[in-house]
Structure 1
């Protein structure tokens, strides 16, 4: 055998139609840890496990007979120490001097198998990592949904707290804080555009005697029903609030002094004509209209002065602060 073929970097052997090894290069003998003479004349299946023998019979021989060649057959041959050596085999059927031979070339597959095992292990690790990542993402999504639900709940609570902070707990009306914020907004608008507005302080006449005579629960009922009455009697543009105690306040948007007094008189009449259970109450009202010299505190002080005039003039009446100056 040619020396170059004898020591080629792949195993070579040639078998007869019956599978007897006719020739083999040194590389093939070294692969199996045999001397070359120990291989020649032996049946190739002597160096195979039962599984590989069955594969050889069901695939190698029929394929050679039918097509005259095989390519990249994967099988294992046993070494002299009975260790399986994985190999990749290519073969071709040829005729020389009237005899048929099957020439085969084999390449050891140890490194490839190790590489494939590494690839498989890496693939499994990646699949596990993907599974863990998906699980983590699912948990994150659940946490995100929980976070959004908590955010919505917190927003709802904040809105409720904000509403409570601006609402009188007894009557359900807006409270003094809300009124003060609305008043400042209207004052700023007045300085920008000159749009008129007025405020009206409404005080229940002799409210202390109601509490003293009928008790505080009846007094609270009067306050609640008056709040509903004021809300029903106000315009959409008005701001109505409980100012404190038995006092209520209305911000009359767009109302100059004349209109404000007219609105206040209408409200006073409604209060006088509407029974509160078995009681009939009256209210005194003080009105002030915004001017360029007024601040929020000054405007409220003017309305309070007008209210005092209504109280001291016999109650159940409306007074505008400008009437105080004209009566001096």
Structure 2
């Protein structure tokens, strides 16, 4: 452990996601009167009363799993001499070599305030209930299991919300926000390693006419099917996303201008030759390959200009920004 961390003005403990203490600084040991051997490889809850264990399970673990951190949680820990020492705990999770690690900082409280007294009184009553009534213990265990189930449900719902935040509701493809984040990452990778990538922008030809003559429900069906065709004809690590309206965008990692133009042509052909029940559907495609002069904005602008040229050339075709754009 770094010497400055070892003698920091606050206690530091590193635990696994199961609560086993992996590292501790000298300040923490002095604060509670323990030797290093007394705490290493022991469970953090071995220093807690039953009430504190309950509070730790119902607040600390769920908050860490949902948000990755806990700020200013009030606890009392037992010293080696058995004294209860009030502390504020800050925790943050990180990925270790083999499992998730939670780094915790402990700051000893020097003053008591009213709500702390209320908490201590509540803890005393809970401890008394645990000692005197097995039935109360059983009810608390049932409550604990119920909280764990609700915690798992919260984590599941949070994962669903994260998915919805980056997914286009109509087509099921990734949305523009997600695509821009990935584009930024590939721009950084290109700056560091010159790993090529290309971008395609697709636009459904005469889409307004489809909406006007066949209705918006048919238009939505066209967009959904187009998304399915794109996913079926693009291999990882290619990424397809809905850019907005009838426009779609594709990221093609590792592809140069020739490869990206061929991939775009294959995609255009697959869309044109698919069986469209409502009406014939074609797309115009603009492509651009990253250069050392590009930014995330300029590469999209060059692909968009190439798309404009494809439409200008009669639609249902592919134009790469490197082809030498010119207006008819």
| TM-score class normalised by the smaller sequence | 0.5 to 0.7
Tell me what 1:253 maps to: 253
Structure 1 residue matching 2:324: 3-state secondary structure: helix
Tell me what 1:181 maps to: 181
Q: Which has the larger radius of gyration?
A: 1
Cα distance, 1:327 vs structure 2: 8.8
Q: Compared with structure 1, are the counterparts of its residues 325 and 308 closer, same or farther at alpha carbon in structure 2 (3 Å cutoff)?
A: closer
The answer as to whether partners of 1:204 and 1:246 remain within 8 angstroms in 2 is yes
| Matching of residues 166-315 of structure 1 within 5 Å | 166-315=166-315
The answer as to whether partners of 2:309 and 2:325 remain within 8 angstroms in 1 is no
Tell me what 1:319 maps to: 319
Cα distance, 1:150 vs structure 2: 1.6
Q: Compared with structure 1, are the counterparts of its residues 142 and 199 closer, same or farther at alpha carbon in structure 2 (3 Å cutoff)?
A: same
CA RMSD of aligned residues (A): 2.1
Alpha-carbon deviations, 1:83-121, whole Å to 9, x = none?
xxxxxxxxxxxxxxxxxxxxxxxxxxxxxxxxxxxxxxx
Tell me what 1:138 maps to: 138
The answer as to whether partners of 2:130 and 2:136 remain within 8 angstroms in 1 is no
Q: Measure the CA separation in 2 of the matches of 1:129 and 1:211.
A: 68
Structure 1 segments unaligned to the other structure (5+ residues): 1-127
In the TM superposition, structure 1's runs of 4+ consecutive aligned residues that sit over 2 Å from their partners are: 128-144, 324-328
The answer as to whether partners of 2:130 and 2:137 remain within 8 angstroms in 1 is no
Cα distance, 1:144 vs structure 2: 2.5
Structure 1 residue matching 2:198: 3-state secondary structure: strand
Q: Measure the CA separation in 1 of the matches of 2:243 and 2:234.
A: 16
Tell me what 1:94 maps to: none
Tell me what 2:118 maps to: none
Q: Measure the CA separation in 2 of the matches of 1:247 and 1:181.
A: 18
Structure 1 residue matching 2:173: 3-state secondary structure: coil
Q: Measure the CA separation in 2 of the matches of 1:214 and 1:129.
A: 70
| Matching of residues 59-78 of structure 1 within 5 Å | none
Structure 2 residue matching 1:227: 3-state secondary structure: helix
The answer as to whether partners of 1:306 and 1:324 remain within 8 angstroms in 2 is no
TM-score by length of 1: 0.58
Q: Measure the CA separation in 2 of the matches of 1:236 and 1:264.
A: 15
Tell me what 2:160 maps to: 160
